[in-house]
Amino acid sequence: MLSSRKRLLRLLVPTTAVATTAVVGAVLNPVLSANASTPDHGGGRARSVIFVNGDGMSAAHREAARLYLTGLDGQLTMDKLPVSGQLSTSPHDPATAITDSAAAATAWATGTKTYNGAISVDVNGKPLPILGMQAKAAGKSTGLVTTAQVTDASPAAWFSQTANRSAQDEIARQYLAVSKPDVILGGGEDWWLPAGTPGAWPDKPAEDPSEASKGTKGNLIDQAESAGYQYVSTAQELARAKRGKLLGLFGNEEMFQQRPEGQGDVYAPAVDLATMTRKALDTLSTNKKGFFLFVEEEGVDEFAHENNGARVLQAVESLEKAVQVARAYVAAHPDTLLVVTGDHDCGGLTVEDTSGSDESGSDLSTEDGPFPVHGSGLKFVMDWTTTGHTGVDVPVTAQGPLSTLFTGKHPNTYVHEVLSQVLTSRR
């Protein structure tokens, strides 16, 4: 309904009729009008956006983390945001009704559904306008923070266009030559250097000998530095980095080792997500016209693919700490819209009692745990039904101007409808 009203508004009201737009907008879109005067939601005009993705995170992942981290009566910070709703996630893929991260992030960044593997191109491979570049054109600063490769599907969709998400060196090239985000922090150094040219992160590390430099676009780190980026590869270098264009790569690939329990699984990022988020906000916030920051915890998805409940809980805790940083920023800057969601479910997770009579426990339907419920003598198990993605809805929570628009259930393309109101404005 909101989509139809906005389309009608565009048809009825010339863009130059500012006063008339305000009046008609209040009539046609009472939710938006009411939101502007709601202090609890950060009333007023939004200038900046912090968009947080728990990759692979649906309601069950959040509930397991809530019990584990805060207890029966506790609440995660991401669930304390005053507005909540649901997003559906299906792609437009001829082979499946279940999305991958590329199609899901493309829906957010462009407002168009597409096939799995597509990075901000339509079903025919035609490049689509993307919010990361539109925000830059509107004079805003832009940035991305992730524990995945910085060129992985979810961040890539906001800042690049390619028919195949696997072309990560091409995505990196587009960051430097086309979309030019001001802050790029995460993993994936291998894609920024040509084969045989190891960087700060050595080729073939003991924890995963398959990791090694593999780019085909030249030495993109050198190119980034020539373009004015500071390059950092350790927590200490990041802490010392001055404000300005910043590229930080803190691992060969993802910033962790995703494997089943006890098989070399490690979640110990060289720089934690909260620290990267804080540094990005400190840098981007100097722009008086505002900014767009994409923040992602990739570990939820990768460890859910392995049905590794213990590491999933670690990853959600990492995300929770980053949300705390973001929410503190919003408290001091109420002209910022904060949105927390997931791109899709991974693992078909449910949270269950520890009953020994449960029918699960073998093959793809396995139980993890038991895990303690914080502050009590109770326990729960995490029961997986698949190692892949599922089509269930994902929760979305929000705070700040326009946040009430996320109330209710919407397709994932609706994210674009809301965010574009902030990021394409030159005011």
Place 426 in a pLDDT band, splitting at 50, 70 and 90.
confident
Rounded Cα gap, residues 249 and 109, in angstroms: 23
Rounded Cα gap, residues 330 and 326, in angstroms: 6
Beta-strand relationship, 183-187 and 141-149: parallel
Token pair belonging to 334: 């109420």
Structural domains of the chain in order of their starting residue, each with its CATH number: 1-35 (no CATH), 47-423 (3.40.720.10)
Condensed to tens digits (0 to 9), the pLDDT of residues 170-203 reads 999 999 999 999 999 999 999 999 999 999 999 9
pLDDT score of 18? 30
| pTM, entire model | 0.89
DSSP letter at 239 equals H
pLDDT score of 359? 56
Q: Establish whether 58 is a catalytic residue.
A: no
Residue 362 DSSP SS3: strand
Average pLDDT over residues 302-322: 97
Q: Does residue 389 have a known ligand-binding role?
A: yes
Average pLDDT over residues 98-113: 98
DSSP letter at 376 equals S
Condensed to tens digits (0 to 9), the pLDDT of residues 342-380 reads 999 999 999 999 877 665 555 555 789 999 999 999 999
Q: Which of 101, 179, 213, 318 is catalytic?
A: 101
Q: Does residue 344 have a known ligand-binding role?
A: yes
Condensed to tens digits (0 to 9), the pLDDT of residues 151-174 reads 999 999 999 999 999 999 999 999
Q: Does residue 296 have a known ligand-binding role?
A: yes
Q: Does residue 208 have a known ligand-binding role?
A: no
pLDDT score of 366? 77
Burial 323-339 (b: 16+ CB within 10 A, else e): bbbbbebbeebbbbbbb
Rounded Cα gap, residues 130 and 93, in angstroms: 20
Condensed to tens digits (0 to 9), the pLDDT of residues 226-268 reads 999 999 999 999 999 999 999 999 999 999 999 998 899 999 9
pLDDT score of 205? 93
Token pair belonging to 220: 């993109």
Question: What is the number of helices (H) and of strands (E) in the chain?
Answer: 15, 15
Rounded Cα gap, residues 368 and 348, in angstroms: 13
Helix (H) or strand (E) segment spanning residue 173: helix 168-174
